[in-house]
Structure 1
């Protein structure tokens, strides 16, 4: 998995976030869940730390199951006080969580907590505010192909942000371009077979992307 994680870092290197959101959209979501200096922010599936590191003055706990991504988060958080990096499965960490949480974040990692509704319930029991978001299906083909929940089936209310299929496709295209360029420059890439397979599979299902969106909520 580390080779895939490393290649995923390459894919996202030029992107501000590891999901279709742009920074202005993320900041608008964070404004809905203000965190006072010294309060604790928990980011599950934190990746590079992109989200939590946008919150100034908070005590940050970044949890991810990837050493590769946590190493990148460590580099990005260098010089920032009160940052805890935890190598762990999100569900396992949450089960043993103690202490007061001002904001719990789970963007793009709801599968680790048994889906969006389950993740929202679990996080809402442990934090005053929750920022959650992930891919959602707008039709039956996307639900079957990508396993993303139907937006209308979720019990979270109206999302604060919905990025439509064109934004999801743009994100996937950027991912594919970055990885393809890397593979061309590094023909001995250990994860090349997996990456080419992923790119080919997404191209085969390009028409189904018209039913895929990214939605986010502040609870």
Structure 2
């Protein structure tokens, strides 16, 4: 099975696709305090849970969502139709780094998708080109909660310098010309809800679809469980930062 389809299935019961609760997602979006008619961009939007909720919270806003997964964008369009938001949301099937908007945005989101730009620094630089002066970025990124062991790095397929600690991560985000105006650090309950949902949803799907695809999905679920439980659990953290562009 292709990786994008596995991810689509695994996130069915947790479409936020990050270790963030619905309550904290809404808190982060509300703190943006967008003006009427705001323009919003979500880079690596997936099934668009963040940008769809932003449109509900800001009924005069318009938005664009960008992702490379056809499965995710199909689900995003369906969700937008069901919630009556499709007339205010444009979806774009292109790599996030290649997207160019027609006008600057008031808020640019990139939550859990900094890999699309090869890391946080490049992400913040790319977001800046989309933002109006004084505009806001909402960025979710991993950080080392505790120093990773060599075994954890091997499980993750990561290097020590892929992330910093929380302080270094905030400084790295700001270095491209931003000031942090709010933030949320995911707690243990959010991590467990996210991980068990990912693993369990994919496992259930695999058991309901015996055959090569089911076998591949079950193997992916077990590999992910092992990577989490015996790898990055209590080592990898996640922070979502609301940052204001400085000029």
Q: Could you say which TM-score interval applies, normalised by the shorter chain? A: 0.7 to 0.9
Q: Secondary structure at the match of 1:190?
A: helix
Aligned to 1:184: 207
Aligned to 2:168: 153
State how far apart, in whole Å, the 2-side matches of 1:126 and 1:139 are: 34
Return 5+ residue gaps in structure 1 as ranges. Answer: none
The question of 1:69 aligning with 2:72 is answered: yes
Aligned to 1:144: 153
Q: Residue 34 of structure 1: CA displacement?
A: 2.1
Aligned to 1:58: 61
Equivalenced residues, count: 216
State how far apart, in whole Å, the 2-side matches of 1:50 and 1:178 are: 18
Scaled by the length of structure 1, what TM-score is found? Answer: 0.87
Q: Residue 195 of structure 1: CA displacement?
A: 4.9
The question of 1:91 aligning with 2:114 is answered: no
Q: Residue 191 of structure 1: CA displacement?
A: 6.5
State how far apart, in whole Å, the 1-side matches of 2:123 and 2:11 are: 25
Q: Residue 205 of structure 1: CA displacement?
A: 5.2
Q: Residue 198 of structure 1: CA displacement?
A: 5.1
CA contact under 8 A between 1:16 and 1:22: conserved in structure 2?
no
Q: Residue 160 of structure 1: CA displacement?
A: 1.1
Return 5+ residue gaps in structure 2 as ranges. Answer: 175-179
The question of 1:82 aligning with 2:106 is answered: no
Aligned to 2:195: 172
Deviations 1:87-121 (A, max 9, x none): 0001111xx34412010000010111121232123
Q: Secondary structure at the match of 1:140?
A: coil
State how far apart, in whole Å, the 2-side matches of 1:201 and 1:172 are: 9
Q: Secondary structure at the match of 1:141?
A: coil
Q: Secondary structure at the match of 2:211?
A: coil
The question of 1:115 aligning with 2:139 is answered: no
Scaled by the length of structure 2, what TM-score is found? Answer: 0.78
Q: Residue 204 of structure 1: CA displacement?
A: 5.1
